[in-house]
A and B are shown apart, each in its own frame.
Chain A
Amino acid sequence: MLSVRNLIKSQSELLVKDMMTKNLITISPDDTMLDSKIIMKKKNISGIPVVEKDGTLVGIVSIVDVILALDEVALDSKVGERMSKKVISLNENQEVSVALDYFRKFRYGRLPVVDDENKAIGIITPNDIVSRLINFLDLDKVSDSKEASDCNSEEEIYLDIKGGDFTHAGGASSQLKKILEKMSCSKDVIRRAAIASYEAEMNVVIHSNGGFFNALILPDKIIIRVHDYGPGIEDISLALKKGYSTATDNIRSMGFGAGMGLPNIKRFSDKFRIVSSSAGTKLDIEITSREGK
């Protein structure tokens, strides 16, 4: 099997500057958040590197920052005040394999590229690497992917959940919470996502033969899918009643089995769907921002 990673590793001369997009859209710290919003909409991108007049990279402003500014009716505030100053960038002379490691480690959809003087000279996305690598391999026939689909603030996590594993229980929801905090989502959204995902995760641990946890974070909502591989819920309407639980005494002694799991998920989510058969239970949850509603 040809692995992209190994291929890249074998091509140690492949540098970030060979694969980045040089046509860089930037904004000044003195511009307003409204300017950011207009540029994002016009260029269909979800993040803009912030540079000084001399090109020095000083931050990055994301669609999440714009949404927060919108919520606070502060679109007239300066980009410099609201941007994220801890910006992770790549040097143009770094190897592409380093870029791949960064994407994996920091979970960003795009990274600005700077020269030795910290001047922003380009931007790179995983798609840039893949599409240029395909050119490199002389495998054309790949449709031109638009810059828009490259630059987004989407995040996705996928984790397996073991049935009966109380030691690692809560790990998936805790990972989701940390990502949401990093993306500066609103406190209310983080709290509700944490509660709903924890309850869903614990249901799999307590009641099932195992399953998976999948969360997709989009600019306007979080979609959480928690599916297990059985044995299923006998009576969903009973399970949705506060105080009803089928947990064993042993599980109750750990503080579970209050019969509040599904009612809590319902209460803290904005959309909630449950389907269950002996093959498994599928729980789909959506959390949207309630601010300004």
Chain B
Amino acid sequence: MEFDLREFTENSNIDLVNDGDLNIKISKPYICDLLSHVMSNAEENVLWITVQNNSNIVAVASLLNIPAILLVEGVKINPDVLQAAIQENITILETDLSAFDVLKNFFNGDR
């Protein structure tokens, strides 16, 4: 399941909004929108997939050592959230696809 974050961002359906550190191995994707569930269940070095779009996602990612957040279903990151992500050096990605489709494509090799 492990993959390179940089390789993932090269997927044509994905927009790289903030670089962060792309030289990171992602252990697996983790999908959830409820912050306390993420707090309790996400491991470090996951790619967090969500539609949440407020600066608390950056706080949560930073506390859990989550290096990258992917906003799905056309959600565009708020400027203040992006600012926080730049400060905390967290990679921000966006896609119009759903969480399921983006991962299905990636793992099927449809880039």
Question: Interface on A for B, CB 8 Å cutoff?
Answer: 166-167, 169-171, 173-174, 177, 191, 194-195, 198-199, 202, 254-261, 264, 267-268
Contacts and interface: CB of A to CB of B under 8 A. Distances in A.
30 contacts: A166-B56, A167-B80, A169-B55, A170-B59, A170-B60, A173-B59, A174-B59, A174-B63, A177-B63, A195-B39, A195-B63, A195-B64, A198-B60, A198-B63, A199-B36, A202-B35, A202-B56, A254-B52, A255-B52, A255-B54, A256-B34, A256-B35, A257-B34, A258-B34, A258-B35, A258-B37, A260-B34, A260-B36, A264-B36, A264-B40
Contacts of B37: 258, 260
Contact residues on B (Cβ < 8 Å of other chain), bracket: 20 to 34
Contacts of A268: 40
Given A177-B62, A254-B52, A260-B39, 19 more contacts: A170-B62, A170-B63, A173-B59, A191-B64, A191-B65, A194-B63, A194-B64, A195-B40, A198-B59, A198-B60, A255-B34, A255-B57, A256-B36, A257-B34, A260-B36, A260-B37, A264-B40, A267-B40, A268-B40
A255 B40 contact: no
B39 A199 contact: yes
Interface in B50-73: 50, 52, 54-57, 59-60, 62-65
Contacts of A169: 55-56, 59
A201 to B, nearest CB: 9
Given A174-B62, A194-B64, A198-B63, A167 B55 contact: yes
Contacts of B33: 255
B30 to A, nearest CB: 14
B45 to A, nearest CB: 12
Contacts of B52: 254-255
Nearest to A170: B59
Contact of B36 (A170, A171, A177, A261): A261
Contacts of A255: 33-35, 50, 52, 54, 56-57
7 cross-chain pairs, A with B, having the tightest CB-CB distances, nearest first: A170-B59, A260-B36, A258-B34, A194-B63, A258-B36, A255-B52, A255-B35
Contacts of A173: 59, 63
A139 to B, nearest CB: 45
